[in-house]
């Protein structure tokens, strides 16, 4: 069984978090920017825990300053994804990082990312869509600005809205207004929950924000009534096992709850989150899951069909993806 050539659908990656370290170093060199503290001696991103990860992430992201930088980033990221068999991917993109929340600037960044994704579709046959992400540990007021940027660019490429960042900062109800703006515009909704916060955060994302998908959500396993709620409401989890293991949520692949959630009837999908930060790729995820749970190609096919059906894309794209998975 060669999982590396299997066509894959990925629903949860942060665009900046997928930046190859050599790409960030090169940009820093070109701009004469100091990135001490970002890399270890081997040249990999270095951090001790989740909050430190967010700091290192922001330090690395600081070298990305123009739409042209994001154009290059998008091409570099999609090339790596395509090399892992990914045929469709949704990336979290942030108006806070792209133009500081200014709508005019954000539109230029979206144009650049969309142009790069058109180029990658032609050269590598991979489709990218954007999910606008408010960063939870930035000021709460910022989320409304971000929602405004999201709504004004919602269309063929910007398709979803999904909060990320430190799950310890604020409550979901603080962001309900921003989510209402996105929902009323017709955007698809997801939220990071049940990663560093417990099962109740998953319930709150479903009830207070009305999301159809959850980023991670794996700690739902701590409360079977939340697992049942996921099943009843048909909520899809964007599970990133390698990320969870790298950040110490679970000690190893065998103890990761993805298989137990799936066995309980929860719709699970597989993604990399921030692949170079967590020393993973889609091929690594698939090969590790196959080894840990004796999953065969049939399970991965089912997971990819789930992902295609849960993708925030238009129906023509979904139909094309489902045909490619057959
Ligand atoms: C995240 Cl804001 C952000 N960026 C990258 N990875 C993340 N995980 C959770 N929040
Ligand atoms: Zn994430």
The one-digit pLDDT tens for each residue of the chain (326 residues) are 799 999 999 999 999 999 999 999 999 999 999 999 999 999 999 999 999 999 999 999 999 999 999 999 999 999 999 999 999 999 999 999 999 999 999 999 999 999 999 999 999 999 999 999 999 998 888 999 999 999 999 999 999 999 999 999 989 999 999 999 999 999 999 999 999 999 999 999 999 999 999 999 999 999 999 999 999 999 999 999 999 999 999 999 999 999 999 999 999 999 999 999 999 999 999 999 999 999 999 999 999 999 999 999 999 999 999 999 99
Minimum-distance ligand 1 atom for the alpha carbon of 164: 10
SS3 of 268-298: EEECCECCCCCCCCHHHHHHHHHHHHCCCHH
Q: Which spans in the chain are helix H?
A: 21-30, 50-61, 67-83, 103-124, 140-153, 176-184, 199-209, 224-232, 241-246, 258-263, 282-293, 297-310, 315-325
Closest-CA residue, ligand 1 atom 2, reads: 165
> Tens digit of pLDDT for each residue in 96-132?
999 999 999 999 999 999 999 999 999 999 999 999 9
Packing angle between helix 67-83 and helix 21-30, nearest 10 degrees?
160
Name every protein residue with a CB atom under 6 angstroms from any ligand 1 atom. 14, 17, 57, 135, 164-165, 192, 274
> Tens digit of pLDDT for each residue in 89-101?
999 999 999 999 9
Distance 316 CA to ligand 2 centre (A): 27
Q: Is 98 helix (H, G, I), strand (E, B) or coil?
A: coil
Q: What is the reported pLDDT for 1?
A: 77
Distance 236 CA to ligand 2 centre (A): 15
Q: Which of 13, 52, 274, 278 to mutate to test the pocket of ligand 1 (most atoms within 8 A of CB)?
A: 274
CATH of the domain at 178: 3.20.20.140
**What residues act catalytically?**
195
Q: State pTM to two decimals.
A: 0.97
Minimum-distance ligand 1 atom for the alpha carbon of 136: 2
54 in a structural domain:
no
Q: What is the reported pLDDT for 59?
A: 95
123 in a structural domain:
yes
Distance 12 CA to ligand 2 centre (A): 6
40 in a structural domain:
no
Distance 92 CA to ligand 1 centre (A): 9
- The residue with tokens 């979901």 is 172
135 in a structural domain:
yes
What residue numbers bound the domain in which 217 lies? 12-20+66-325
Q: What is the reported pLDDT for 150?
A: 98
Q: What is the reported pLDDT for 282?
A: 98
Minimum-distance ligand 1 atom for the alpha carbon of 166: 10
53 in a structural domain:
no
Asked if residue 95 lies in contact with residue 131, where contact means CB atoms within 8 angstroms, the answer is no
Q: Identify which ligand lies nearest to the alpha carbon of 166.
A: 1
Put residue 240 in one of left, alpha, beta given phi > 0 → left and psi -120 to 50 → alpha.
beta
Asked if residue 241 lies in contact with residue 258, where contact means CB atoms within 8 angstroms, the answer is yes
Q: Which of 18, 91, 137, 192 to mutate to test the pocket of ligand 1 (most atoms within 8 A of CB)?
A: 192
Burial 234-253 (b: 16+ CB within 10 A, else e): ebbbbbbbbbbbbbebbeeb
Distance 13 CA to ligand 2 centre (A): 6
Minimum-distance ligand 1 atom for the alpha carbon of 14: 5
6 in a structural domain:
no
58 in a structural domain:
no
90 in a structural domain:
yes
Asked if residue 294 lies in contact with residue 315, where contact means CB atoms within 8 angstroms, the answer is no
State in Å, rounded, how far the first CA of the chain is from the last one: 17
Q: Tokens standing for 44?
A: 């990999």
The count of structural domains within the chain is 1
């Amino acid at each position: 069984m060669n999982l590396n050539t299997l066509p894959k659908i990925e629903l949860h990656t942060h665009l900046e978090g997928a930046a190859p370290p050599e790409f960030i170093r090169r940009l820093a060199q070109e701009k004469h920017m100091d990135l001490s503290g970002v890399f270890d001696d081997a040249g990999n991103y270095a951090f001790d825990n989740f909050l430190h990860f967010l700091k290192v992430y922001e330090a690395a992201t600081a070298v990305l300053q123009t739409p042209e930088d994001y154009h290059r980033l998008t091409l570099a990221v999609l090339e790596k994804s395509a090399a892992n068999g990914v045929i469709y991917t949704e990336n979290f993109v942030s108006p806070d990082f792209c133009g500081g929340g200014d709508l005019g600037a954000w539109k230029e960044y979206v144009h650049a990312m969309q142009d790069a994704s058109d180029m990658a579709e032609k050269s590598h046959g991979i489709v990218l869509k954007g999910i606008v992400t408010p960063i939870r540990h930035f000021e709460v007021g910022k989320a409304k600005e971000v929602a405004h940027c999201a709504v004004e660019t919602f269309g063929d490429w910007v398709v979803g809205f999904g909060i990320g960042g430190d799950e310890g900062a604020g409550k979901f109800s603080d962001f309900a207004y921003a989510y209402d703006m996105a929902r009323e515009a017709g955007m698809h909704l997801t939220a990071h929950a049940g990663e560093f916060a417990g099962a109740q955060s998953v319930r709150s994302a479903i009830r207070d924000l009305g999301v159809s998908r959850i980023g991670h959500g794996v700690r739902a396993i701590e409360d079977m009534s939340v697992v049942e709620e996921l099943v009843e409401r048909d909520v899809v989890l964007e599970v990133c096992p390698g990320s969870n293991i790298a950040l110490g949520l679970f000690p190893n692949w065998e103890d990761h709850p993805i298989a137990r959630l799936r066995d309980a009837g929860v719709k699970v999908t597989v993604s990399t989150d921030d692949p170079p930060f967590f020393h993973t790729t889609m091929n690594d995820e698939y090969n590790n899951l196959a080894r840990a749970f004796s999953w065969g190609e049939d399970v991965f096919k089912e997971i990819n069909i789930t992902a295609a059906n849960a993708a925030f894309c238009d129906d023509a794209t979904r139909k094309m993806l489902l045909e490619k998975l057959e």
